[in-house]
Chains A and B, each alone.
Chain A
Amino acid sequence: MSESSAERDWPLWEVFVRSRRGLNHQHVGSLHAPDAAMALRNARDVYTRRSEGVSLWVVPAAAIVASSPDEKDSFFDPAADKTYRHPTFYEIPAEVQHL
């Protein structure tokens, strides 16, 4: 066989499953497939064979834009000490009922 690895290897897809109970699709893993229709079928076979879900999304892994580990400090650390962004920061007056 003289195929190059690019021809032989199928692209990577990220798989999202909506479980019976939940409202949101959750990322469960990834798989290889030659195209979108086969990716959906492979996802069905690999990730929902034990009744894990009622709906599937597949997304080409190459289409996902991810935050960079290099930017971790500037992206996420500033949120760490902003306690006033949490509702528990605020004291609730005793008179307020049913909140």
Chain B
Amino acid sequence: MSELPALATYALRLGDDSLVLSHRLGEWVTNAPQLEEDVALGNIGLDLLGQARTLLTYAGEVEAAGRSEDDLAYLRDERDFRNVHLVELPNGDFAVSMARQLLFSTYQLALYDQLQASVDDTLAGMAAKAVKEVDYHRDHATQWVLRLGDGTETSHRRMQDGLDRVWPYADELFATDEVEQSLVAEGVAVDSSSLRAGWDGYIDGVLAEATLTRPEGLRTPPGGGRRGIHTEALGYLLAEMQHLHRAHPGASW
């Protein structure tokens, strides 16, 4: 992928986060602990898919090379995706997925809350609509982390294991770079590193109430999703997500 305008890159980053996590949540449908949870996770996934559609369409418009949302979602290869590693992690058990959702939705809520004030009308409009959705996503994940963490001995152990599994990937959410900073200076983007303190405060509160231990240490992954360097999980996810469109271009129903 040739060098994109900073704004297109930024829209792709946010859009890919939502798109990839949406696919992961879709994998839970028919596999969640109860039918009600199938519907809940499906709803959250569809909220994220709606955000991704707006953001990928916008990235295509800014790029002005004629790529549609479908072109960007289905015809890019792994190295052209700009999502963080956290959202591409395999679902694991329910506790892993709830831990991932808590860490991500807490970040995304803080991000969208500030993005509403962007001077870019499309980003501000998307954020204003999505902030209410994500508020619920965070609440849903919080409720489960509290119940599993402060539940039985087994649920506590598995919730702590789930948290430990995804925790190392949280650091990447708050990494900023020159692309983002150039847009922050124009009042378009939110400085990711500024979201850290609020995120820590909320997460620490939930973990304390859930009697969970905050894992030690974070790592900054080499390369990083924002630059197209991904874990091995993303390739498999894309193979499944893109297969139909690549086999039958333009298929719809």
Contact = CB atoms under 8 A, between A and B. Distances in A.
Interface of A: 10, 31-35, 37-38, 41-42, 44-46, 49
10 contacts: A32-B36, A33-B36, A34-B147, A35-B147, A41-B139, A42-B40, A44-B136, A45-B40, A46-B39, A49-B39
Interface residues of B, number: 12
B43 interface: yes
Contacts of A42: 36-37, 39-40
Interface of B: 34-37, 39-40, 43, 136, 139-140, 143, 147
A45 B40 CA distance: 5
Contact of B36 (A35, A37, A46): A46
Nearest to A42: B36
Contacts, number: 28
B94 to A, nearest CB: 13
A49 B36 contact: no
Nearest to B152: A7
Nearest to A49: B43
Nearest to A47: B39
A33 B33 CA distance: 11
Contact of A41 (B34, B35, B143): B143
B143 A37 contact: yes
Contacts of B35: 32
A64 B34 CA distance: 23
A31 B34 CA distance: 10
Given A34-B147, A37-B143, A38-B143, A45 B34 contact: no
Contacts of B43: 45, 49
